[in-house]
Amino acid sequence: MARIDIWFLLLATCCLTAGVSMGIWMGIAHDFSLAPVHAHLNLLGWASLALFGLAYRAWPVLREGWSARLHFVLSAPAAALFPFGIWIAITQQNPMVAIIAAFLWLGGVLTFLGKLVHLARTQQDDATEGAPAPALPLPAE
């Protein structure tokens, strides 16, 4: 997946926006009963997805192969379904969606772990070196 880094970061930022909005709403309402939903939006959605995106950006070789796409296909819906499932578990006493999302998330995490182990075991020095930082344009004088 050529732009998997951007897709992970875009989804992470959407989750961050939702998590921050939810936190503001909870603060205004003085109702923190859904704090676990807010926490999972920020932790899985923002922190984890953003770190995945940054890792794919830093080590472009991670993007290679079908497992990068599998990682996104498992992690993206899980990051959205997990907080939703927690909301259903809290409000409807039904944890099934959260449980399914947890297993999807675990699949994504294990896929990423496999990619990192493969990267660590590679003999190519270039593969384990971070991507060079892009040059910043100088201001016109």
**Per-residue pLDDT reduced to its tens digit, 62-109:** 999 999 999 999 999 999 999 999 999 999 999 999 999 999 999 999
Does residue 49 sit within a domain? yes
Measured between alpha carbons, how far is 9 from 27 in angstroms, rounded to an integer?
26
Does residue 42 sit within a domain? yes
Indicate whether this model's pTM tops 0.85: no
Task: Using the predicted structure, report yes or no on whether residue 117 has a pLDDT greater than 90.
Answer: yes
In the prediction, which pLDDT does 44 show? 87
Does residue 71 sit within a domain? yes
What is the per-residue pLDDT across 45-64, written as a single tens digit (0 to 9) for each?
A: 999 999 999 999 999 999 99
Does residue 81 sit within a domain? yes
Residue 140 pLDDT level (bands cut at 50, 70, 90) = confident
| 8 Å CB contact between 62 and 70 | no
In the prediction, which pLDDT does 126 show? 59
Does residue 120 sit within a domain? yes
Looking at the structure of the chain, the number of domains it has is 1
Does residue 134 sit within a domain? no
Range of 54's domain?
Answer: 4-127
Does residue 118 sit within a domain? yes
Does residue 79 sit within a domain? yes
Whole-number mean pLDDT of the chain? 89
Measured between alpha carbons, how far is 131 from 60 in angstroms, rounded to an integer?
7
Residue 138 pLDDT level (bands cut at 50, 70, 90) = confident
Measured between alpha carbons, how far is 101 from 40 in angstroms, rounded to an integer?
12
DSSP class per residue in 37-53: HHHHIIIIIIIIHHHHH
| 8 Å CB contact between 72 and 88 | no
Spell 40-52 as b/e; 16+ CB within 10 A means b.
bbbbbbbebbbeb
